[in-house]
Amino acid sequence: MKQLKVLVFSATFGNGHLRAAEAVIEGIRIKEPSAKIIHLDFGDFLGIRFNAIIKNVYIEMIKHIPKLWGKLYYKTAKVQPQSISQRFLNKLGRKDFLKYIHEFKPDLIVCTYPTVSSILAQLRLEHLLQVPVITVITDYTVHSHWVHQGVDSYVVACTEVKESLMSWEIKAQRIQVTGIPVSPKFEGEMDRGQIITKLGLKSDLPTFLVMGGSYGVLKSAKRICEKLANSLVPVQTIIVCGKNKKLYLSLEAVIAHGRNPMIRLEFVDNVEELMSVSDLIITKAGGLTVSEALTKHLPLLIYKPIPGQEEENAYFVQRIGAGCIASSEEELEQLLNRFLRHPEDIEKMQIKAALALPGHSTERAVEDMLELVMHLRMEQKIG
């Protein structure tokens, strides 16, 4: 049988697009160990300096002026695919993309970032690209930037996203509701006791996990930790600081003087273990973080979600009963007090979280991708 060749495009504007791409790659390697897979960052095709500027502007905006990002997001959310701005974006780097694709000759292209998906989809419509394009939408909502008639198949989080795509006249048979692909590591059962021992946690205390994203943009993370460290109701906390060195160092005194135990971590690669031993996660609402938590049946307390796609992700979690949103410090404190004093409320959300997703999202998504490749190969043989 011919070796499978897959080209995967993601982007490092936020960590979710990258994690979804890595999950798909893991899933393909499980199903097709001999597959040749190349993973590219869309930003590399924009030039080092230009990519760095755009990335820094994005990070600074969501950190310091998130409302402006939200205005930009919602203002462009209904822009038509054939608008002047979208047609301009669809021309970015297309010659370089075509050159690379023609040299590699993939059987399939998977995109987890909307701009590159639209560029390749337009090439499909113009019959300049003969390779099928599958787009993985990495949020629980659809921005118009994701929408393009040239995409062969969409992988989406939930039926609401499917319905939204259909309202843009994307045919139902081209939309696969699998859940956002997460690393298969999140699917398996884990030895909770072993992980508790490894991390130095106490088995008889509830565990709250605080995560601020890879860039540490969770607002008031230190004050959240102070509240938990000094809670009269016993609780232990795991705080993941990511790349936020300032936050990491500032927690030294909190840990030293708090009445409750706390573990602080920098950037980690064992989130699935941390989620496995936690009862509640306090976090931002990135699509992958939400999906990973729901896969682990872990309820979410989302604090001040960034306006735009993360706000929509947070609304989804709240709507299905798998978590709550705190829009202010007062609301956050009230919810923390409630969950500390009424653990049965967390248990109710755990049940909702367990029912939220179909499960085995990456396996389902990859099976659909491989089925598309086999179908096209059969057509080529017949033709």
Predicted local confidence at residue 242, as pLDDT: 87
Predicted local confidence at residue 113, as pLDDT: 95
Predicted local confidence at residue 90, as pLDDT: 67
- Angle (CA) 215-216-220 rounded to 5° is 155
Instruction: Tell whether the model's pLDDT for residue 383 goes beyond 60.
Output: no
Measured distance CA(74)–CA(310) in Å, rounded:
12
Q: Which domains does the chain have, with CATH numbers?
A: 5-184+359-382 (3.40.50.2000), 188-356 (3.40.50.2000)
Tell me the pLDDT band of 42, cut-offs 50, 70 and 90: confident
Instruction: Tell whether the model's pLDDT for residue 119 goes beyond 70.
Output: yes
Q: Quote the mean pLDDT of the chain.
A: 91
Q: Phi first, then psi: what are they for 171, rounded to 5°?
A: -70, 140
Instruction: Tell whether the model's pLDDT for residue 203 goes beyond 60.
Output: yes
Answer whether 144's CB lies under 8 Å from 126's CB.
Answer: no
What's the pTM value of the predicted model, to 2 decimals?
A: 0.92
Predicted local confidence at residue 141, as pLDDT: 96
Predicted local confidence at residue 65, as pLDDT: 83
> pLDDT tens, 128-154?
999 999 999 999 999 999 999 999 999
Tell me the pLDDT band of 60, cut-offs 50, 70 and 90: confident
